[in-house]
Amino acid sequence: MRTLLLVALALASSSCFQLRPTQDESVREAELTIRTLMAAWERGDSEILEELFWPDALYDDYPNQHTYQGLDEIIGYVNALHAWADDVLWNVGQVHVTETGAVAEWVFSAVQARPMGNQLSVGTGAEVVTNGVTVIEVEGGRITRAADYMDTAPMLLQLGARIEMPDATIVELGGGD
């Protein structure tokens, strides 16, 4: 009886260890997940987004101070980019993996071909290039939360915007008054 119990314990513990990913596997999975997310952004691929995110996931768009909750809102967030942009590219540089997710540094570029919601009523045909980071938290192999961080001012300046400072200084691309 004691031998049977030891064999059962050995089998149970070995199967538990097999189900747990190793640290190297977790690192590879987190990096693959964030790189796949950035590719889904680039393509506007809602099917990939549905596979990556839990249905109740959150996506924080810090530049625009908005949180998207659930797959429909997250997919809408990605589709909003493709509503105004052509030739969307996301060049992922460094990826930093943590125990619970990953951070990707990226350079984004696109051509502003159509109106941008309530920010710009025409397509300028201008190429915009900016950089930022995306942070993801992963649980059970899927994203529970993502967040984008970037400074939107350079992109707006590339589209012809002028920023008036409190002292009446005007900031615009290529100089200012």
Q: How far apart are CA 164 and CA 177, in angstroms?
A: 10
Position 5 in a domain:
no
Could you write out the DSSP letters of every residue in 63-102?
A: GGTEEEESHHHHHHHHHHHHHHEEEEEEEEEEEEE-SSEE
Domain that holds residue 81: 21-176
Region 115-122 average pLDDT: 92
**Number of independent structural domains in the chain:** 1
Position 30 in a domain:
yes
Q: How far apart are CA 30 and CA 75, in angstroms?
A: 21
Per-residue pLDDT for 9 more than 90?
A: no
Token pair, residue 145, equals 């939360």
User: Which CATH number goes with the domain that contains 124?
Assistant: 3.10.450.50
pLDDT digit string (tens) for 41-57?
999 999 999 999 999 99
Confidence band, pLDDT 50/70/90 cuts, at residue 118: confident
Q: How far apart are CA 177 and CA 172, in angstroms?
A: 9
